[in-house]
Structure 1
Amino acid sequence: MNQHVTHANQVYASAQSAAASSRIVASWRRCMTMHRLSPEEKRLPIRLTEEELRLARERSGKLVAHATGELDLLFQTVGRAGCCLLLTDRGGIALERRGVAGDDKDFHDIGLWTGSIWSEASIGTNGIGTAIADERSVSIIRDQHFFASTTNLSCTTAPIRDHRAQLVGALDVSTCRDDINEITLSIISQTVREAAMRIELQLFCSAFAAARFVVVPTESSAVSALLAVDGNDMVIGATRAARLALDIDDQRIAGGMPASDLLEEDANSEQNGLRGAERAALLRALSRTNGNVSQAAISLGMSRATLHRKIKRLGLH
């Protein structure tokens, strides 16, 4: 039986089975019901014109700028193993690409190229489109793709979120190698997720460049769980990991929340009262002057005698 027909029959049978339940099958169903696609079709992803690609890159300028370095590093790790790297926007448009020149023709012929749209609506179930649709990392191996024309691909993709934890793009590594296995793809997948996380942190830190950053304790000790805090200890931003850990959203952040309250620090301790604030201010002033009381008093706008009394009262000797 023709390979395309065999694959199409498998997709139809699984998608129509009430018992079948997985992310792949859910994607196959979306492709047929939402996007009106047929698995037996032979197609390539939709391609943008040069002008359309230029405009897409302009819209995602910050993403491209912050992802370039990570793309280069990731390519050094997996590029020469027959892999192609794509950075896309949230619509699945390939904005940046990395690949070995010797593999360019093969990847270009199947659409792994800048300007191609790898959404589910464009090319069915695939790493980029499915990661964007589900908003979480995914690996799609060969015949898990919707169309038979893409079943020679194995790809792993991680979504990328901006400083407000909104989806802005995806990072993908794809390969046509026959010898790729699930263990190897799992290792590549972890590398891709880590690279995507670093891009997210760069976007976050850039958006709150003047803020202080506080790591939120989580069960997984995720370094990506960060709060951006202003000079008044008010939270002005939070990464997705921090939002999930603390159950906060844009509305709560806009309403105003002290970081100390959000992190459930002891509200009755002197560190959180006026006495604690005064003590902290004096300690900072003394530290900056290497313990010189006269200079610290000048910086605080008070007399040396007044500062001495405060030091004694607060037990800072």
Structure 2
Amino acid sequence: MTPKASHADIVMEATQSTSAAAKSRVAASWHRSVIKHGLDPDEHRAPDRIEQKSLQFRMETLEKFMTVASPRLDALFSLVGQSGCAVFLTDTDGIILDQRLSDADAMAFEGWGLTTGADWSEEKEGTNGIGTCLTEQRHVIIHQDEHFYTRNTGMSCIDAPIYGSNGQLVAALDLSSARADQTEAFNRLIAAQVAQTARAIEAANFRAAFSSARIIVAESDDAEASTLLAIDESDLVIGATREARRVFGLQRTGDLVARPATDILGREDGPTGFEKAEKAAVIRALARAGNNVSQAARQLGIGRATLYRRMKRLGLEDS
């Protein structure tokens, strides 16, 4: 009887296969872990942890982002904490900066090395939810023996990337479980909530970054992405989320060069642009005044007769 292959044997066999990496994203990550990072799947060392001073610096650098993210982490944990899951937030290097876990599960996750300050980059831990999510910049589920290290095969990890207001990757949201009975079907169910939470954090962070701007929610074919534009008082687009940049063909990262919203949203603009703006202002004033022309004129700082003339010129005299 042929003995059952060990996890390390399976990983190494897939790594040496010329076709496995092309067919499977997990195998591609295993390949990177061995060939690029020089890792051994049977290594049993504990995950690396950075010094407290370095951790504090990283947390201070992302302080505003973490403040925005915190209540969303709480909400996610309130949904999954009783099922033996823990929630983690990392920076782009895979360093865990914040966590939510129950007291009953704390020792188990500490034993796995899932704790603040731990380095879960793919470079250090091979294929895992956090590191592979950050490397491939996509939502991932790494279920038990899909992990690179044998010592990590008892875990299931569901992760989603989070992008900052400048379109660049800023963090990874991780939900991990060390329950042996956790199924792939349950993982897929949880993954939708993780993606929704990541999207909520991204949107809240974007709104905080452009707190004085008007935020427009645009349509996208990606239901798991935040498609937001920030528009200033001059109707110039001054900010866009990563998905909005893709949808509207804007520069992928960095500060945007301000552009008229009409240009980006595809509405007509040209010689009548000022007339349209004037018409919109008159309509708003009339609406606020309950169609009382005298009151609307006072709001606009003009005389009643002047407003009547403008309404006639703008085609609003019948309104």
Q: TM-score, normalised by structure 1?
A: 0.92
Of 108-117 and 259-268, more deviation after overlay is shown by 259-268
Q: Where does 1:282-293 land on structure 2 (aligned, <5 Å)?
A: 282-293=282-293
Please give the alpha-carbon distance, in whole angstroms, between the structure 2 residues aligned to 1:149 and 1:248: 44
The one-letter code of the counterpart of 2:289 is T
Indicate whether 1:224 and 2:226 are aligned. Answer: yes
CA contact (8 A) 1:71 1:85 kept: yes
Indicate whether 1:199 and 2:235 are aligned. Answer: no
The one-letter code of the counterpart of 2:112 is I
Tell me what 2:130 maps to.
128
2:68 to 60, 66, 69: 66
**C-alpha displacement at 1:65, in angstroms?**
0.6
SS at match of 1:38: coil
SS at match of 2:256: helix
Q: Where does 1:230-269 land on structure 2 (aligned, <5 Å)?
A: 230-249=232-251, 254-267=256-269
SS at match of 1:237: strand
2:151 to 149, 172, 186: 149
Structure 1 residues 2 and 210, CA, compared in 2 at 3 Å: closer, same or farther? farther
Tell me what 1:42 maps to.
44
SS at match of 2:40: coil
Tell me what 2:312 maps to.
312
SS at match of 2:99: strand
Structure 1 residues 169 and 223, CA, compared in 2 at 3 Å: closer, same or farther? closer
Of 165-174 and 51-60, more deviation after overlay is shown by 51-60
Tell me what 2:278 maps to.
278
CA contact (8 A) 1:215 1:223 kept: no
RMSD (Å) for aligned C-alpha atoms: 2.2
SS at match of 1:254: coil
Please give the alpha-carbon distance, in whole angstroms, between the structure 1 residues aligned to 2:246 and 2:261: 15
Structure 1 residues 24 and 222, CA, compared in 2 at 3 Å: closer, same or farther? closer
The one-letter code of the counterpart of 2:295 is Q
Q: Where does 1:158-197 land on structure 2 (aligned, <5 Å)?
A: 158-197=160-199
SS at match of 2:284: helix
Structure 1 residues 115 and 248, CA, compared in 2 at 3 Å: closer, same or farther? same
Tell me what 1:53 maps to.
55
The one-letter code of the counterpart of 1:201 is A
Please give the alpha-carbon distance, in whole angstroms, between the structure 1 residues aligned to 2:121 and 2:9: 22
CA contact (8 A) 1:163 1:238 kept: yes
CA contact (8 A) 2:214 2:230 kept: yes
Of 280-289 and 132-141, more deviation after overlay is shown by 280-289
CA contact (8 A) 2:121 2:131 kept: yes
CA contact (8 A) 2:242 2:252 kept: no
CA contact (8 A) 1:218 1:245 kept: yes
Identity of aligned residues (%): 42
The one-letter code of the counterpart of 1:192 is V
Please give the alpha-carbon distance, in whole angstroms, between the structure 1 residues aligned to 2:94 and 2:255: 30
Structure 1 residues 43 and 163, CA, compared in 2 at 3 Å: closer, same or farther? same
Of 276-285 and 141-150, more deviation after overlay is shown by 276-285
Please give the alpha-carbon distance, in whole angstroms, between the structure 2 residues aligned to 1:170 and 1:127: 9
Of 259-268 and 9-18, more deviation after overlay is shown by 259-268
2:29 to 8, 27, 30: 27
Query: What is the CA deviation profile of residues 45-103 of structure 1, one whole-angstrom value per residue up to 9, with x for unaligned ones?
Result: 11122222211211111221111101111111111101111111111111111111111
Structure 1 residues 252 and 53, CA, compared in 2 at 3 Å: closer, same or farther? closer
Structure 1 residues 258 and 290, CA, compared in 2 at 3 Å: closer, same or farther? same
Q: How many corresponding residue pairs?
A: 314
Unaligned 5+ runs, structure 1: none
CA contact (8 A) 2:73 2:100 kept: yes
Unaligned 5+ runs, structure 2: none
